[in-house]
A and B are shown apart, each in its own frame.
Chain A
């Protein structure tokens, strides 16, 4: 089945710097890669996602890139702010014989943005 590895597990940056979180996946048939943000004590919320037919997607200060050949995708946050501090999870969709399945999540990255 699908396996998702996420690095780093913790990341500390200064306010205004950029942050990059990387994930790799094992199933070459996976076609959907969402990123979720979870603030302390809150529920995970989708912040951006990318489909396998797209190499990059941007939404204001966040962007996601996908390299299907290497089977990895990354989250980029520019001009970080203290409110970006949270745990970020990547995920990849499972496939079963061509059918679409569930999400497999990475273990998360705790991002701390220091003022």
Chain B
């Protein structure tokens, strides 16, 4: 099993450009998450999905959109990138709700720089 994979690993964007980050998992997990990690800020939830075709906002959703058209994939979109979105983005997945005691498995991360 590959676990959780993310594409791309690195990306540099100019302000105003758009891009999509792809997360894929092969563990048949229902739940998927997108986090951003900034120095000294820990992991903050952007959006999450509790199943195919569903998405919900997390703690810091502004400026991002997501889609979960297939159970194994969770896409994160930036419509008009801003320097404040420079960060490391992590995708994660879990069999069930974390509050329901299910471990989250993380992808390797995507380092995004917006100039």
B is bound to A: yes
Query: Chain A residues in contact with chain B, CB under 8 A?
Result: 6, 9, 30-32, 34, 42-46, 49, 51, 89, 91, 93-95, 99-108
Asked if B98 is at the interface of the complex by the 8 Å CB criterion, the answer is: yes
Verify B48–A44 contact, CB threshold 8 A.
no
Chain A interface, >50% SS class: strand
Verify B40–A102 contact, CB threshold 8 A.
no
- A–B complex contacts, Cβ < 8 Å, 28 sampled: A9-B40, A31-B99, A31-B101, A32-B98, A32-B100, A34-B98, A34-B103, A43-B106, A43-B108, A44-B90, A45-B106, A46-B103, A46-B104, A93-B97, A93-B99, A94-B99, A99-B99, A100-B98, A101-B99, A102-B45, A102-B97, A102-B99, A103-B45, A104-B59, A105-B42, A106-B42, A108-B40, A108-B42
Q: Pick the contact of A49 from B41, B42, B48, B103 — CB < 8 Å?
A: B103
Tell me the nearest residue of chain A to B97, going by C-beta.
A100
- For B91-110 the 0/1 string (1 means CB < 8 A from A) is 00000011111011011110
